[in-house]
Structure 1
Amino acid sequence: MLALTDLPTCPGLFYGSIARDGVLSRMRIPGGILNAQQCWTIADLADQYSTGCLQVTNRANLQIREVNSEIAPEVWNRLQELGIASRHVEVDPIRNIMASPTAGIDRQQLLDTRPLVKAWDDYLQTHPELSELSPKFSIGFDGGESVSIRDLRNDILLAAEGRSTQSKIVFRLHLNGDTGISIQESQCISVLAALASTYLEYTKNRPRIDGKKPRLRHLLTDWGAESYLEKVQQNLPFLWQFTSGTFPQNRQDACEAKSEVPGGVGILPARPIASSEKSLPHHLHLGIHPQQQSGFSYMGIALPLGRLESKQLRNLANLAQNLASGTLRLTPWQNLLISDIPNSQLFEVKQQVADWGLHSSATRLDSCLVACAGSNGCASAATDTQSHALKMVRDLAQKLTIDLPINIHFSGCQKSCAQHRPIDITLVGIQIERGDEIIEGYDIYAGRKDLPFGRQIFQAVSAIEMPDAIERMLRVYQRFRDRLESFGEFVDRQAIDQLQQLFSAENRTLK
């Protein structure tokens, strides 16, 4: 490991980064899938070099906080042998490859994306020059699963779709929205390679932005999506195939030169890039669900704030090895799945999970709870989000129960690192002046309207008063909602003054 003064700001496994609570080391787990042997080794690593606490991230990575000593070279070699660490150190910091945690087992899927995840990771491992890209360069594969990742943030998303006129499945290319381009499965890696190499050429001629490498979004701002796709086309042996659109006259000659190349029709999009789709629920993976494979199910297990002790990881790996296929799947919602459980073993699996203090319910307040590192780990945060979030759900669990999932997001500042889209409730950390002292507090937002956080409901609520404010919001929701209406839907259909009146009335009732 490098000296502390040399550590990068974006952590990887080989070179962690400095956080307020020590060195943070992050493992990229392509597709989020781990076997039992990998889990045992990671648990040993956490015990030997840190406090034994792990955390699943919102990109289905695993991170170890408070790394307290230099990791021995033979450990790195072992991690590489097991496929936990990148074969090339340079590539390691590039963001994890995201896929649905139910890839290959989802009953609704159109196509199993796991081979594509592996193929793209193999490409990265054999092209270390791509390490010159921003470490935040991210690729997502969505196979049409019910547990979808389409609404999660990726620079490039390939989303499977069926064609009513043909029996085959194709992928739709998204660059911060739908491009209208359809890609055959066999073309995916070639397309991603061309997109990445064109992006790489762009970065060579651009200065750093705030000291960091240019992101793909900077390229799209400078060039526009159409111009970017035209440049990418020059590096492909086939033409883009657009689902709809007209053929712009001023670009026809350039495309006709490749009109005989098989694999696509040279049509440029006539419409602008579409906006992102409506956010999807965060809880569909939790609980027990039948798999595509007859006689088997998977169990989605809640990890409050993604926290996982090394002992719990070992126990879960042993359980998966003894009663299932030996596979754990991390999710971008900071939880995990045990897959391939024979239905005859479900009761035993559920009982053992409960014995370790874990659960699979989506209707507990800690199930869909999200928080950034907070002031204990990040200098940008105004509040200790992790402690406040856990204390809040413990307090509220003694006072009320919920029967529908509710997503609550704690962000220590305006950056919103932990969750990029509003769903139900978002709390943004602030510093509040009270007399002669500065105390921690939150602005509280709700619903999907008025991005990036929703609509502001309360302003400058102290951390001590915050649980009471959330309790009032939840009780009003339970009293006045339609039967199966989500919290976000309930808030979005109310006028803001009506909401605040309801919450004030509930405050008097509680007193």
Structure 2
Amino acid sequence: MTQAIETSTATQTKRRPSAKPHGQWKVDGTAPLNHNEEFKQFDNGLNVRERIETIYAKEGFDSIPSDDLHGRFRWWGLYTQRKPGIDGGKTATLEPHELEDRYFMLRVRIDGGALTTEQLRVIGGISTEFGRDTADVTDRQNIQLHWIDIADVPEIWRRLEAVGLSTTEACGDVPRVILGSPVAGIAKDEIIDPTPVIREISDRFIGDAELANLPRKFKSAITGHPSQDVVHEINDISLVGVVHPELGPGYDLWVGGGLSTNARLAERLGAFVSEENAAAVWHGVVAIFRDYGYRRLRNKARLKFLMKDWGAEKFRRVLEEEYLGFALPDGPAPARPSQPGDHVGVHEQKDGQFYIGAAPVVGRVSGTVLTRLADLLESQGSYRLRTTPHQKIVVLDVARDKVDAVVAGLAELGLSSSPSVFHRSTIACTGLEFCKLAIVDTKDTAGRTVAGLEDRLADISERLPAQLSLHINGCPNSCARIQTADIGLKGQLLPDPDGGQTPGFQVHLGGGLASTDRDEAGLGRTVRGLKVTADGLVEYVDRVVRRYDGQHVEGETFAEWAHRADEEDLK
């Protein structure tokens, strides 16, 4: 039975032209040009759910064919995780089946980061019962669990869907989770509430088979908050709240951002998008990616490569003429944010209640912590919370007389609302612990680094900026956004004195996005030969931060200093 759904290499729907086609469906035809395109075209990734429920959950891991296991499972938020004990030096030399365990990472999709305490309790229970108490808050506002057995997946889906959650298109060549402002609908200074647009897009288009075969993943972000709190410059599409002088509140449209090994910031199209047109515009941009996106080479298949070749003017013209059928009005650019976008701390809501942003260490929590968090909030009369694109948690609707109790309870759970600068601003990807692409450990390394820096920099902590970002990534793919951090670290193996290899990092310095204290978004600077071992990381960061402290001029950010400093001062 399982052989029946393996890819047919005979799948051909149109004849493609001869001169090195990009695999653009509207230009070259839809004939698949690589195996990834073959298996997607042969059987839509959404269809694998039925096989998981009726075959694989019953017959076990060995019943799963490769195209489902390494391909279509992603459409339902499932990746095989890394087998324990395989060092980073084997990542590039072993085949996927040699690296992978018989257990899965499961990604719970949380559009806009919006959760109720009931939903949080369900996720916590799934983690403790099925996931060995693992849970990470990601920088895409999802929650990831590990150690999931295929036999348990149908029951996990049943529990999630009973409270309005899912794993639908949490991974795969699809529209991934929609980032949304964590303070949507409650912030006093909000320009426009993105909740209706996020909900409309999610309800209409997530799980739509017509959008379930994109060239690669598609990332969305929507915010109406002036802090621009959804890292809009590095998403495929972003809608950023602005006020049009004649048309009132709406969104500024950005397209074509992405990091990984070919980082590129999104471009403004100069178009104003009203709330009523926002879902249609979103759909039009996704459809352009589906129809014109590059499919021949997987490492060139993100929307940023099409945007680089087309430019903003052509992209807007195609969007309006071929997909919308109407012209979008020109609109203003967003103003520079005047506050951080991570929402850490205690803030008054527009209804007089309070929201509290709290930081776990690099997003690492557990099912036990999530369940206890639900208990805490409900005991204090709060029933809503949000995850953030900065691996934080924001608690909503706290009465004035309950704030102190909630802050204290959060601290007991390791969720600080007044964290040190590096506790606040350090994020890390999954790393070697679970990821098959990773070369070095990240979560534990980051935790040790935060603790070490809190100790070593205590004497100058009051002089440091409120945010000084340290992003730690286990491989070149930049899930932790290393190019946009003050100090970004890309994992690699470095030679040691004994002729072997030791975990370490290439260093990027001076990156930042609009939601940080930079004048404008920009990518970090690399210095030739600047690499640091994992064991030497605390000492290096201590040294470079002290040089910034001693050399910067008044009002100069770390990023600004890092771009003008002599190379020797950055080593």
Sort the Cα spacing of 1:90 and 1:437 in 2 relative to 1 into closer, same or farther, 3 A: closer
| Alpha-carbon contact 1:329-1:336 (below 8 Å) kept | yes
Question: Structure 1 or 2: larger helix share?
Answer: 2
Distance apart, 1:167 and its partner CA = 6.1
SS in 1 for 2:530: strand
The answer to whether structure 1 residue 422 and structure 2 residue 510 are counterparts is no
Q: 2:443 aligns with which of 365, 368, 386?
A: 386
Deviation per CA, 1:169-199: give whole Å up to 9, x if none: 1322111211111122111112222232333
1:292 corresponding residue in structure 2: 350
Task: Confirm or deny: 8 A CA contact 2:186 2:349 kept in the other structure.
Answer: yes
Farther off after superposition, 33-42 or 401-410: 401-410
Q: Give yes or no for the alignment of 1:456 onto 2:527.
A: yes
The reply on whether 1:170 has 2:250 as its aligned counterpart is yes
Give the residue type in structure 1 aligned to 2:348. Answer: P
Aligned counterpart in structure 1 of residue 274 of structure 2, from 172, 178, 184: 184
- Give yes or no for contact 1:302–1:336 (8 Å, CA) kept in 2: yes
The match for 2:538 is 467
Identify the residue that residue 353 of structure 1 maps to in structure 2.
410
Q: Is the 8 A contact 2:227 2:339 kept in 1?
A: no
Counterpart check, 1:411 vs 2:469: no
Distance 1:237 1:443 in 2: 47
Match of 1:138 among 219, 231, 234: 219
For the Cα contact (< 8 Å) 1:91–1:130, is it kept in 2? no
**What is the alpha-carbon distance in structure 1 between the residues aligned to residue 417 and residue 354 of structure 2?**
13
TM-score scaled by length of structure 2: 0.74
Deviates most, 75-84 or 46-55: 75-84
Name the % identity: 26
Q: Which amino acid aligns with 1:489?
A: E
User: Matched residues in 1 for 2:110 and 2:307: separation?
Assistant: 28
Contact 1:60 1:98 in 2 (8 A): yes
Matches of 2:407 and 2:329, distance apart in 1 = 47
Change (3 A) 1:75 1:465: closer
The CA distance in 2 between the partners of 1:306 and 1:228, in whole Å, is: 36
The answer for the alignment partner of 1:509 in structure 2 is none
Asked if structure 1 preserves the Cα contact closer than 8 Å seen for 2:170 and 2:177, the reply is no
* SS class of match (1:239): coil
Q: More displaced, 413-422 or 98-107?
A: 413-422
Partner of 1:506: none
Alignment of 1:23-422 (within 5 A): 23-85=104-166, 94-125=175-206, 127-134=208-215, 136-146=217-227, 148-164=229-245, 166=246, 168-175=248-255, 176-202=266-292, 207-210=295-298, 214-221=301-308, 223-233=310-320, 234-243=322-331, 284-293=342-351, 295-401=352-458, 402-403=461-462, 404=465, 405-419=467-481, 421-422=483-484
CA contact (8 A) 1:52 1:310 kept: yes
What SS class does the counterpart of residue 421 from structure 1 fall into?
helix
Distance 1:392 1:457 in 2: 24
**Cα gap change, 1:286/1:13 in structure 2, threshold over 3 Å: closer, same or farther?**
farther
Matched-pair contact (CA < 8 Å) for 1:151–1:280? no
| Alpha-carbon distance in structure 2 between the residues aligned to 1:470 and 1:383 | 18
Aligned residues: 465
Could you say what the CA RMSD is over the residues aligned between the two structures, in angstroms? Answer: 3.2
Distance apart, 1:286 and its partner CA: 0.6
Q: Shift of residue 279 of structure 1?
A: 9.4
Q: 1:78 to 1:327 in 2, by over 3 A?
A: same
* Residues 284 and 335 of structure 1, relative CA distance in 2, 3 Å threshold: closer
Letter in 2 for 1:441: G
Preserved contact between residue 318 and residue 326 of structure 1 (Cα < 8 Å): no
- For 1:14, which of 76, 86, 104 is the aligned residue? 76
Contact 1:10 / 1:135 at 8 angstroms: preserved in 2?
A: no
- The TM-score with structure 1 as length reference comes to 0.82
Alignment partner of 2:498 out of 415, 435, 443: 435
> Take 2:157 and 2:446, find their aligned partners in 1: how far apart are those partners?
35
**Structure 2 spans left out of the alignment, 5+ residues:** 1-51, 84-102, 256-265, 513-520
Contact (CA 8 Å) 2:215, 2:290: kept in 1 or not? no
- Worse overlay, 186-195 or 230-239: 230-239
